[in-house]
Amino acid sequence: MISEFLSVLVDYAWGLPLVVLLMGGGFVLLAYSRFLPLTGMKRAFALVGGQFHHEGEKRAEGQISHFQALMNALAATIGLGNIAGVAVAISQGGPGAVFWMWVAALIGMNTKFFECTLSVMYRGKDYAGEVQGGPMYVIEKALPKKVGFLAIFFAVCGLIGTQALFQVNQLSAYMKDQYEVSTLVVGIASAAFVYVVISGGVRRLAMVSASLVPFMCFFYVVISMYVLLSNSPKILPLLGSIFYEAFSGQAVAGGVMGAGIIHVLKIGVKRAAFSNEAGVGTAPMAHGNVKTNEPVSEGLVAMLGPFFDTIVVCTMTALVLLISMPEGGWGDASGIVLTTQAFESLLPGFGTHFLGLAVLLFSVTTMIGMANYNQKCWDFLFRGRWGMGKRAFSIVFCSCLVMGAVSEMNDVVNLLDIGYAFMAIPNMIATIWLAPKVVPALRDYFNRYP
């Protein structure tokens, strides 16, 4: 009964209007910024590398560096959505879904610039007096009071959408499938680890993320590149099938071409949003903690998130999956089990163990990143009142991890997709509404730092 309800609600939430809001609104922002992702990438990498900083930043509000903010955001985005989520996208929408993930990511890079710049422009403070950013603060401070309810709406939906249910669910599924470890045991162990980390606050989160994220990305990309280079003759035909299937839509909707294309587009956009979170409003909460008085510089750094997450890591996974796909398809395999089969078929005797380490690293860092986001929504709503402080949050969040470990994957994915959909609505409204504040600041920034 609950599964059917979630399935119906997710189809409603991720209908064409939301796709138009994310893709159409994102394209408007892309044109408005004069295609910033194409012109601002060099500066974004320079900022992460420590260039273009000034003395004033040492006295600026905030808690973490540009690099740590990016690692915090990537910790939440580069996760099992890049491993298991891509498998879900291809199994539901075929190879063509990958193309729409790319399109959504390119548009999403620009959307992230706007939403993260606004998050630093309109920062607030939590009940402990620490500087915070995020769509709820942007809406509260910059939009008319008559739409202030959207800030609360975003935070409530954020408590659902930023649960780390998918990560713990797929980690437990992998451990059960490969090593026959109880899903409940994995859930309890994950909850205990996350509890210890989040008890240390945002600085401990930043240190853990900055240590693990670069290593796990490099590790995954190197092994995936080895697999792809070993099967290089297959890559061009597969890329061709990705482009062809994106516009043919013949594999779905009973061969009705128009309906098929829309279906594949929706799958690609939904999985891209789940993977890189552009337009959803999560990344602004991480980048809002940065120690800077230059909002535009942090917006530029934030653009790198969808690039690394979807263009690099998701593409690697997609090509590995497509290279390994048998003629009759994968059968009933889905999610992490499907990706495990793909790597094991291409790296016999090693693929399963490699993916096991990747799953562990990706799931752990994403759980930590999601805990950071979830706590910001929690603190915004409760502000330490009624005994709902950090300890209460930690208990609730970690209890949900245990529940996620023993739940069905489809129910978990549908619940999180619903949360993301309803988070994206107020965030995109605020971002488009306030975009005219960002473009003059962008021009001023490049005039001062050419």
Domain presence at residue 447: no
pLDDT score at 292: 79
Greater confidence, 325 or 304? 304
Domain presence at residue 299: yes
Domain presence at residue 99: yes
| DSSP label at residue 134 | S
Domain presence at residue 448: no
Q: What is the pLDDT of residues 130-167, one digit of tens each?
A: 888 899 999 999 999 999 999 999 999 999 999 999 88
Percent pLDDT > 70 in the chain is: 82
Q: CA torsion angle for 168, 169, 175, 176 (degrees, to 10)?
A: 150
Q: What is the pLDDT of residues 261-319, one digit of tens each?
A: 666 666 667 666 656 677 888 888 888 877 778 889 888 888 888 888 888 888 888 88
Domain presence at residue 154: yes
Structure tokens at 280: 């959803």
Angle (CA) 45-49-52 rounded to 5° is 85
pLDDT score at 435: 94
Strand partners, 124: 132
The domain total for the chain is 1
Give the list of residues 6+ apart from residue 62 with CB closer than 8 angstroms, or none: 131, 289, 290, 291, 292
pLDDT score of 175 more than 80: yes
Q: What is the pTM of this model?
A: 0.84
207 φ/ψ angles, rounded to the nearest 5 degrees: -65, -45
pLDDT score at 438: 93
Count CB-CB contacts under 10 A for residue 112.
32
pLDDT score of 197 more than 70: yes
26 pLDDT band, cuts 50/70/90, is confident
- Give, to the nearest 10 degrees, the angle between helix 409-448 and helix 25-32: 20
- Rounded average pLDDT over 197-202: 69
CATH number at residue 425: 1.20.1740
8 A C-beta contact, residue 63 and residue 130: yes
Please state, in angstroms and rounded to a whole number, the distance separating the CA atoms of residues 331 and 442. Answer: 50
Greater confidence, 97 or 334? 97
For the chain, give the mean pLDDT. Answer: 81
Please state, in angstroms and rounded to a whole number, the distance separating the CA atoms of residues 184 and 314. Answer: 29
pLDDT score at 13: 83
8 A C-beta contact, residue 343 and residue 323: no
356 pLDDT band, cuts 50/70/90, is confident
Domain presence at residue 132: yes
- Rounded average pLDDT over 318-339: 73
Domain presence at residue 450: no
Q: What is the pLDDT of residues 252-263, one digit of tens each?
A: 433 333 445 666
Using DSSP's 3-state secondary structure scheme, residue 132 falls into strand
Among 7-11, 230-234, 245-249, 374-378, name the one with the lowest average pLDDT: 245-249
Q: Which domain holds residue 426?
A: 2-325+333-442
Please state, in angstroms and rounded to a whole number, the distance separating the CA atoms of residues 418 and 39. Answer: 34
